[in-house]
Structure 1
């Protein structure tokens, strides 16, 4: 299930309708960083991305990337048929808080073992998220956590009328 790294963001377009189902897991070849409360709260060159049909990629950062904030366990769980049971996290940076802004898989399915304890973050709840030097756009809707970059072709699941896709 783990694919080769790609060079997206450097001239190659990806159509999310060509992403596989079940999803693929790929290491990210560009730095990833997250800004919240006016400061960089996470940065890494060791991220993973999950590619699933009709969705922009979801980026997962290792826990040690989160040095500029506090991660607090948040209530609730959810189940992904591919990755397993997710737990949620509140992100706090100074006086700023984003409730249930991140999620992780403490015991992922074998195919997604590299994601163990890595965190994905809802870009729309942060000041900005970056892949390389590009600021991402949050996936439409409030349910999914994909990050839209300029090298993606949609339409993307999450916009009104797409929940049945």
Structure 2
């Protein structure tokens, strides 16, 4: 099972992630939504498209823009559409389960 953990709290959990450029992308249904708030931040990746961000809140603390996703990825990145990746101190732990 793969887990995203921040501030001692599991914020996402799934048997399998999609790994792109060393980042684990969690399916949207694996998020514990109570920890996520839409951010106004956007960025552009030349081959994936426009990324949107979430602020992550756990145990009373907020980690701004700690998660990102591509709601409308370009064709080459379509397999990670709406999947969420993490940074800014969010730990990714666990082992991928066999498909």
Query: What is the TM-score normalised by the length of structure 2?
Result: 0.84
Aligned pairs for 1:64-143 within 5 A: 64-67=29-32, 69-122=34-87, 124-126=88-90, 128-132=91-95
Rounded to whole Å, the distance in 2 between the matches of 1:38 and 1:70 is 12
In terms of fraction of residues, the more strand-rich structure is: 2
Q: Match of 1:163?
A: none
Q: Match of 1:35?
A: 5
Larger Rg over CA atoms: 1
Total equivalences in the alignment: 96
Tell me which of the two structures has the higher relative contact order, counting C-alpha pairs closer than 8 angstroms and 6 or more residues apart: 2
Query: What is the TM-score normalised by the length of structure 1?
Result: 0.53
How much has 1:69 moved relative to structure 2? 4.0
- Residue pair 1:91, 1:97 contacting (<8 A) in 2 also: yes
Residue ranges of structure 1 left out of the alignment (5+ in a row):
1-30, 52-56, 134-165
Report the aligned-residue RMSD.
1.9
